[in-house]
Amino acid sequence: MPAVGRLGELLVRTHWEFDKKRFMRATPHMDEGYGHFLGTQLANPNVGVLVAEREGEVVGYSYSTVEGRDWMSLRDRAGVIQDIIVDPSQRGHGVGRQLLEATLAFLKEKGVPRVVLSTAEQNLAAQRLFEKAGFRPTMIEMTREMD
């Protein structure tokens, strides 16, 4: 989980760089906290934490959940891809695509009728990956600062 935690912290840092007001800032030891949190999820049969390895090194991970009806998002039962990230040095080699395919296979085994995810508006590379895998835009999050 330490390698996954480091990638989780990278995910936080990347999003914070996209929009410093919308996304939380990485804090000291966030990698440990992120890794610990994902480790606590492993015993849940409706959670998938998958890793991509290259030569024994973790180079990416995905975190997905099976969720029931959600009145807040107006969504029936679905698989939700919470996180998917690949180490920047390993991007462009199909790791993200393979990780996405494995995550979709896990969620299909769980019998979900659909899979949803969110991606940062600025993350065009991720959006291209998701579109190639058959995802379509359905919601737009909007943020307004109160100051």
CATH number of the domain bearing residue 117: 3.40.630.30
Domain membership of residue 60 (yes or no) is: yes
Q: Please report the pLDDT score of residue 110 as a whole number.
A: 98
Q: Please report the pLDDT score of residue 135 as a whole number.
A: 98
Q: Please report the pLDDT score of residue 57 as a whole number.
A: 96
Q: What angle separates helix 30-41 from helix 2-18, to the nearest 10 degrees?
A: 120
Domain membership of residue 112 (yes or no) is: yes
Domain membership of residue 57 (yes or no) is: yes
Domain membership of residue 3 (yes or no) is: no
Q: Please report the pLDDT score of residue 10 as a whole number.
A: 97
Q: Please report the pLDDT score of residue 20 as a whole number.
A: 97
Q: Write out the residue range of the structural domain in which residue 127 sits.
A: 45-132
Q: What angle separates helix 124-132 from helix 95-109, to the nearest 10 degrees?
A: 50
Overall domain count for the chain? 1
Q: Please report the pLDDT score of residue 114 as a whole number.
A: 98
Domain membership of residue 12 (yes or no) is: no
Whether the model clears a pTM of 0.85, i.e. scores above it, the answer is yes
Task: Give the pLDDT means over successive 10-residue stretches in the chain (147 positions).
Answer: 96 96 96 96 97 96 98 97 97 96 98 97 96 97 95
